[in-house]
Amino acid sequence: MLVQAPDGTMTASAIIWLDEHNRTTEFGPVGTHHRYRRLGLGRALPLQSMDRARQAGAARMTVTCLPTSPQSS
């Protein structure tokens, strides 16, 4: 899933895998462009993704949280 600003800039993204056989969805990395942080996109994107996964038949969802590494300068 992708979120774009009106000018076409990709502001946030998430990778979602649906296992139709097990009716399970797994969320991969969810990220937000640094200029668009603190606007609620990091919360809205997974919520919208979960809604779509439910519509596609998912009964369970897994989100894995891993620490991020500091950005290098």
The first and second tokens of residue 63, run together, are 């989100």
The first and second tokens of residue 48, run together, are 């919208």
Q: What pLDDT was estimated at residue 22? A: 93
Residue whose tokens read 């990709």:
10
Instruction: Quote the percentage of the chain above a pLDDT of 90.
Output: 27
* CB proximity list for 48: less than 8 A, separation 6 or greater: 1
d(CA 57, CA 65): 24
Confidence of residue 70 (pLDDT cuts 50, 70, 90): low
Distance of CA 70 to the CA centre of its chain: 20
Q: What pLDDT was estimated at residue 18? A: 92
Name the pairing type of β-strands 10-19 and 2-4: antiparallel
For the 2-63 domain, the top CATH level (class) is: alpha beta
pTM for the full predicted model = 0.69
